[in-house]
Amino acid sequence: MSKMTVKLFAGLMDYLPVKSTKAHGFDYPITDATTVGYLIDDLKLPRNVIHIVLLNGVYLDAETRDEVILKENDILGFWPAVAGG
């Protein structure tokens, strides 16, 4: 089975499978039909908190991201609404 990397940041670190702030990322197994939407539900990530989703560094907008199919070695990062400066 193929795998890709999921990264959870800021307040979403609470949803890391093993509670650890040392690593933001973990491997996630995928088939050739695994979508971002499936992954979000499978990991029980709170949809009302997820704000920024970057697939290999590129922003996925909220309207279409659920349908995006993941590929081997993809890196998918999730953040709540954040800002600074």
Partner 1 sequence: MSWTKKVLRINLTAGTCSPEPLNMEWVEQFLGQRGLATKYLTEEVPPTTDALSPENTMYMITGPLTGTMASTAGRYSVVTKSPLTGAVACSNSGGFFGNEMKCAGWDMVILEGKSPSPVYISINDDKAEILPADEIWGKSVWEADEWLHTKHQDPQLRVAAIGVSGEKGVLYSAIMNDLHRAAGRSGVGTVMGSKNVKAVVIRGSKGVDVQDPKAFFDATNAGKKILAENPVTGEGLPALGTQVLMNVINEMGAMPTNNWKDSVFEGASKISGEAMLEPRDSDGKANLTRNGACFACTIACQRVSTIDPEHFSVQNRDDLHPSYHANSGGLEYEAAWALGSDTGVDDIDALTYAQFVCNEQGLDPISLGSTIAAAMEMYEEGFITKEDTDGIELNFGNAEAMIKCTELVALGEGFGAELGQGSSRFCAKHGHPELSMTVRGQEFPAYDPRGIQGMGLGFATSNRGACHLRGYTVASEVLGIPIKTDPLETEGKAGLQIAFQNATAAFDSAGICIFTSFAWSLEDVAPQLNAACEGEWTPERLGEIGERIWNLERLYNDAAGQGASADKLPPRLTEEAVKTGPAAGKVNGLATMLPEYYAERGWSPEGDVTADTKARLGL
Specify the stretch interacting with partner 1 by CB under 8 A; choose among 21-29, 37-45, 65-73.
21-29
Q: Are strands 58-59 and 52-55 parallel, antiparallel or unpaired?
A: antiparallel
> Of 17, 56, 69, 73, which lies in the binding site for partner 1, with binding defined by CB under 8 A?
56
Decide: is 18 part of the binding site for partner 1 (CB under 8 A).
no
Decide: is 22 part of the binding site for partner 1 (CB under 8 A).
yes
Decide: is 15 part of the binding site for partner 1 (CB under 8 A).
no
CA separation for the pair 75, 47 (Å, rounded): 19
Say whether 76 sits in a helix, a strand or coil.
strand
